[in-house]
């Protein structure tokens, strides 16, 4: 829009769109679709790759993705990106934890800490350190899943992506590790995680490990106020439908069981 000021000067007015970063629970149909899409990609691009042989399933009862490791989470993030979403960085995870949004009894992954070329995971460490040197990054490096990618290859090799939001390097990363993690290491490539007991770890070396206690239950995005209000309303409606469907299903199970008892079965 163009206007003329009191002294006759032309002024160009540019609209400002207020946007908000947000985090929301990830469950129901959206989580199921992402889980299925990842499973299909693994079957297509990484068939028989051992790093994708660990536990990874959609839980129909809770509506959440169970199972989590570095490799699955990178692919999950790839699918989320298509919808303008991404998995939380460790900074967002810590914020959610401070607000008591993260339950114990399950573990959650938040990316990797790259320390040096040594073990554990020295092959991956050497590759990522070489890429970091090309970009002028100093170690340690804290990389969320959005800053990582897996090129289509049977070797399942992890590289840095072009998205560096939430990535910390050098002194800033070291200070963050010291301040925010209870357990930490100083070599190789380690996983970033919140443990089943609520401890924050920067030393988990089993990057391909995954079991049913793993959870992928929060996602992040950006939206205008109007978009955010619409998303919240849609999420409430979906959650209401999910709970109603579960209630009806359980009711039918109890009714059928009662009939079986009456019939002496």
Separation CA 142–CA 112 (nearest Å): 6
Residue 22: exposure state from Cβ atoms within 10 A (0-12, 13-18, ≥19): middle
Cα 222 from Cα 150, distance rounded (Å):
24
> Residue 146 pLDDT > 90, yes or no?
yes
What would the pLDDT profile of 44-93 be if each residue is shown by its tens digit? 999 889 999 999 999 999 999 999 999 999 999 999 999 999 999 999 99
Taking 60 as the threshold, does the pLDDT of residue 159 lie above it? yes
pLDDT above 90: percentage of residues in the chain: 72
Task: State the pLDDT at residue 235.
Answer: 67
The per-residue pLDDT for 115 is 97
In angstroms, rounded to a whole number, what is the distance separating the alpha carbons of residues 70 and 43?
Answer: 17
Predicted pLDDT at 108: 98
Phi, psi (degrees; rounded to nearest 5) at 135:
-95, -5
Select from 198, 15, 184 the least CA-distant residue to 102. 198
Rounded mean pLDDT, 116-126: 97
pLDDT of 6 strictly over 60: no
Task: Name residue, tokens 């979403």.
Answer: 85
Neighbouring residues of 220: CB distance < 8 A, sequence distance ≥ 6: 21, 22, 23, 24, 85, 86, 87, 88, 89, 92
Q: Which residue has the higher pLDDT, 241 or 192?
A: 192
Q: Phi/psi at 228 (nearest 5 deg)?
A: -65, -40
Q: How far is CA 172 from CA 78, 177, 242, 250, in A?
A: 27, 9, 43, 51
User: Which pLDDT score, from 0 to 100, does residue 153 have?
Assistant: 77
Query: In the predicted model, what is the mean pLDDT of the chain?
Result: 89
| Whether pLDDT at 17 is above 70 | no
Q: Are 49 and 38 in contact (CB under 8 A)?
A: no
What integer pLDDT is reported at residue 19 of this predicted model? 73
pLDDT for res 152: 83
């Amino acid at each position: 829009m163009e206007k003329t000021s009191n002294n006759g000067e032309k002024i160009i007015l540019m609209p400002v769109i207020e946007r908000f970063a947000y985090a929301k629970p990830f469950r129901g149909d959206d989580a199921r679709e992402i889980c299925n899409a990842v499973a299909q990609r693994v079957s297509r691009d990484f068939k028989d790759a051992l790093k994708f042989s660990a536990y990874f399933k959609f839980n129909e009862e809770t509506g959440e993705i169970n199972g989590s490791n570095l490799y699955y989470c990178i692919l999950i993030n790839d699918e989320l990106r298509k919808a303008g979403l991404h998995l939380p960085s460790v900074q967002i995870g810590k914020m959610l934890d401070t607000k008591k949004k993260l339950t114990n009894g399950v573990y959650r992954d938040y990316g990797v800490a790259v320390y040096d070329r040594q073990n554990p995971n020295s092959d991956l460490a050497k590759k990522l350190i070489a890429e970091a040197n090309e970009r002028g990054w100093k170690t340690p490096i804290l990389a969320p899943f959005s800053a990582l990618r897996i090129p289509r290859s049977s070797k399942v090799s992890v590289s840095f992506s072009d998205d560096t939001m939430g990535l910390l390097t050098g002194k800033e990363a070291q200070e963050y590790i010291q301040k925010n993690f209870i357990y930490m290491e100083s070599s190789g490539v380690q996983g970033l995680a919140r443990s089943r007991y609520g401890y924050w770890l920067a030393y988990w070396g089993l990057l391909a490990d995954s079991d049913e206690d793993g959870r992928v239950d929060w996602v992040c995005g950006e939206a205008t106020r109007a978009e955010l209000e619409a998303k919240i309303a849609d999420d409430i409606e979906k959650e209401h439908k999910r709970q109603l469907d579960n209630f009806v299903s359980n009711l039918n199970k109890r009714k059928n069981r009662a009939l079986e008892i009456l019939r002496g079965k």
